[in-house]
Amino acid sequence: MNEETRCVIAGAGPGGSMLALLLARRGVPVTLLEMHKDFDREFRGDTVHPSTLEILDQFGLAEKVHNIPHSKVYGPSIITSSFSPSTCGGSRLGSPTY
């Protein structure tokens, strides 16, 4: 088998994965390298921010991400003995809700 690689990307994190996707969509042969055998949460992020969803939507990936089972977090919860739990939300930031 004759394989030609024009671009090698080290690291399949968010930046490396998106770069590989963009280059591949443009027809550039890409090899994406990742030293970890899985996506253990010890070294991967566990949230997707609205601005990231906007970018994923531009790539046509937001719907696929939304189909993955997940929980929505609207902001940190503050619980004390003196008042009821409340949420400090970021809903006024202007990002669309998906």
* Domain membership flag for residue 11: yes
| Mean of the per-residue pLDDT values of the chain | 78
* Domain membership flag for residue 1: no
Identify whether residues 61 and 79 lie together within a single domain: yes
Give the chain's domain count.
2
* Domain membership flag for residue 2: no
Higher pLDDT, 92 or 30: 30
Identify whether residues 35 and 11 lie together within a single domain: yes
* Domain membership flag for residue 13: yes
Q: Does position 98 have pLDDT exceeding 80, yes or no?
A: no
* Domain membership flag for residue 75: yes
What pLDDT was estimated at residue 86? 59
Identify whether residues 63 and 80 lie together within a single domain: yes
* Domain membership flag for residue 68: yes
Identify whether residues 59 and 87 lie together within a single domain: yes
Identify whether residues 41 and 60 lie together within a single domain: no
Higher pLDDT, 16 or 91: 16
Q: Report the distance separating Cα 83 and Cα 76, nearest Å.
A: 15
Nearest to 87 by CA among 79, 71, 95: 79
pLDDT digits (tens, 9 = 90+) for 5-48: 689 999 988 889 999 999 999 999 999 999 887 766 565 666 77
Spatial contact of 87 and 77, defined as CB atoms under 8 Å apart: yes
Domain span holding position 74: 47-91
